Amino acid sequence: MKIDYKKELETASKGMIMIHEPKLLIKLIVRMIVRKLHIRHAGMILYEQEKDSYVLNISRGELGVKIPAGFTRFNSESPVIRIFTRKEFRSLTFNRNAIVAEDINRLIWREGVIRNGNGKLTQQLLSSVHEQMQMLNTVACVPAYYHHKLMAVLLLGEKRDASRFDQEELDFFSALASDAAMAIRNAQLFESLKREAERNRALFLQTIEVLGSTIEAKDAYTHGHTDRVTEYSVMIARHMAETGAAQFPENFFENIYIAGLLHDIGKIAIPEAILNKQGKLTEDEYAVMKQHTMRGSEILKPLSLPKEALEGIHHHHEHFDGNGYPDGLKDGQIPMAAAIMAVADAFDAMTSDRPYREGLSKEAAIAEIKHCAGAQFHPLAAKALVELYESGKI
């Protein structure tokens, strides 16, 4: 059966660049070569810019004829690389677009005859390439260039019918290797950019966590409070979404996580004498304490945080009946993130010990939350917390 190489190349190249996972892409390309083009096994040595070296990325084929070892690295002095990168050797591959094992002995002989003994270096290189190819179970090496830079070497095993590679086939593999090398490079760049975006996101979230924890270095009584409120808030939100009590946009959970971590950040601006006072605050002291929601918003102003997170921080002391602070909002006016955090915050405050009073049991605190649902607390958020408690999750 004659293979229509032009058609196979079009099919193979089509859409290669839309695959942005290098490993998957290489797998698909090598599988295509093995299955559709009837080659026993194939692999690809790929240039890695970050390390300025070449790596054998994958090699697959029929059982028992696998090219050995996965992640062999080739530096630029390796014979199988040098033969394609040094100008003085270009003529060796000029005609065929490849180095084919069966040609090598003839090439070595020709070097000897033509150059009359001056071709020693070339002969040595060709011998080393031959050895490497045998080690790699490879009968043809096809280079792929981009802007005169060697991007990849496609390694081909024997054809299944054991026939020789003809020139049409080598030209096809040359075009394929070149398309593939670019697609793989593209995917690698994609992946590294994606990793960078994720790393930066992780750094951002870590910094938010540290920022949230700074208040614990100052406020002796809040040990673990920030983390618990964050955890409860996210659990309440997830429960509301799961039970259909509310629908939230995709980022809501990350935003309430951020808001939870930062909800008391404004306390950094409250004097320690008030923050750590043992016993009930005077009216004046309480007025200062209440400023922490505003001060939090001020501290976070330079940060382009999502609106939902900022609202959660600013309004986490509003009451459902309008008797909260800082703005005295009521029911529908209170952003849902803030309403959820208010319940989580109150529950943790009630159940935590203070030097001047012991914490309530969870049971008692839940009874209090139930009692105040619809007055201090948003009924749906309070209901979610109660259900989480009753199912043993909190």
Residues that bind its own copies (CB under 8 A): 14-15, 17-18, 20, 146-147, 178, 182-183, 185-186, 189-190, 193-194, 196-197, 200-204, 206-211, 213-214, 217-218, 265, 268-269, 271-273, 295, 299-300, 302-304
User: What phi and psi values does residue 37 have, to the nearest 5 degrees?
Assistant: -105, 5
Task: For residues 40 and 33, give the distance between their C-alpha atoms in angstroms, rounded to a whole number.
Answer: 9
Alpha-helical segments (H) within 116-248? 120-135, 167-218, 225-242
Between 80 and 184, CB nearer to its own copies = 184
Between 20 and 38, CB nearer to its own copies = 20
What is the smallest separation between the CB atom of 207 and its own copies, expressed in angstroms?
A: 4
What is the smallest separation between the CB atom of 266 and its own copies, expressed in angstroms?
A: 8
Between 209 and 387, CB nearer to its own copies = 209
What is the smallest separation between the CB atom of 158 and its own copies, expressed in angstroms?
A: 30
For 74, 84, 131, 144, 191, the CA distances from 185, given in Å and listed in that order, are 17, 19, 28, 12, 10
Measured at the CA of 53, the angle between CA 52 and CA 58, to 5 degrees, comes to 135
Between 193 and 287, CB nearer to its own copies = 193
Q: What is the DSSP string of 273-342?
A: HHHT-SSPPPHHHHHHHHTHHHHHHHHHTTS---HHHHHHHHTTT--TTS--SSS---GGGS-HHHHHHH
| Contact call for residues 79 and 128 (beta carbons, < 8 A) | yes
What is the smallest separation between the CB atom of 202 and its own copies, expressed in angstroms?
A: 8
235: left (phi over 0), alpha (psi -120 to 50) or beta: alpha
152: left (phi over 0), alpha (psi -120 to 50) or beta: beta
Between 207 and 251, CB nearer to its own copies = 207
What is the smallest separation between the CB atom of 265 and its own copies, expressed in angstroms?
A: 7
Q: Which of 257, 261, 282, 372 is closest to 324 using CA atoms?
A: 372
Between 65 and 210, CB nearer to its own copies = 210
What is the smallest separation between the CB atom of 328 and its own copies, expressed in angstroms?
A: 25
Between 125 and 208, CB nearer to its own copies = 208
Lookup: tokens for 390: 């009753």
Question: Which residue type, as a one-letter code, is found at position 315?
Answer: H
| Contact call for residues 179 and 16 (beta carbons, < 8 A) | yes
Between 180 and 340, CB nearer to its own copies = 180
Between 161 and 250, CB nearer to its own copies = 250
What is the smallest separation between the CB atom of 332 and its own copies, expressed in angstroms?
A: 31
| Contact call for residues 318 and 324 (beta carbons, < 8 A) | yes
What is the smallest separation between the CB atom of 121 and its own copies, expressed in angstroms?
A: 33
What is the smallest separation between the CB atom of 200 and its own copies, expressed in angstroms?
A: 4
What is the smallest separation between the CB atom of 19 and its own copies, expressed in angstroms?
A: 10
Task: For residues 270 and 287, give the distance between their C-alpha atoms in angstroms, rounded to a whole number.
Answer: 11
| Sole residue written with tokens 């008391």 | 264
Lookup: tokens for 287: 């007025």
Between 17 and 104, CB nearer to its own copies = 17
First-to-final CA distance of the chain: 68
| Contact call for residues 95 and 136 (beta carbons, < 8 A) | no
Q: Which of 164, 151, 187, 170 is closest to 44 using CA atoms?
A: 151
